[in-house]
A = this chain, B = another copy of it.
Amino acid sequence: MNHYQKTLVLKTRGKDFHRITREIEEIVSESGVKMGLCTLFVRHTSASLVIQENADPDVLVDLSNFFAKLVPESGHYIHSTEGPDDMPAHIRSALTKTSEQIPINQGRLVLGIWQGIYLWEHRQHSHRREIVVYISGI
Contact = CB atoms under 8 A, between A and B. Distances in A.
Contact of A43 (B36, B52, B111, B130): B111
Given A39-B37, A77-B62, A90-B63, A51 B98 contact: yes
Given A103-B134, A134-B37, A115 B56 contact: no
Contact of A51 (B45, B70, B91, B95): B45
Interface string A127-138: 000101010111
Given A45-B115, A79-B62, A103-B134, A35 B3 contact: yes
Given A3-B137, A45-B52, A51-B98, A132 B115 contact: no
A102 interface: yes
Interface of A: 1, 3, 5, 35-37, 39, 41-45, 50-53, 56, 58-59, 61-63, 66, 70-71, 75, 77-79, 81, 87, 90-91, 93-103, 105, 110-112, 114-115, 130, 132, 134, 136-138
Given A41-B102, A53-B90, 10 more contacts: A3-B138, A5-B105, A45-B114, A45-B115, A52-B90, A70-B70, A97-B97, A98-B115, A105-B132, A136-B136
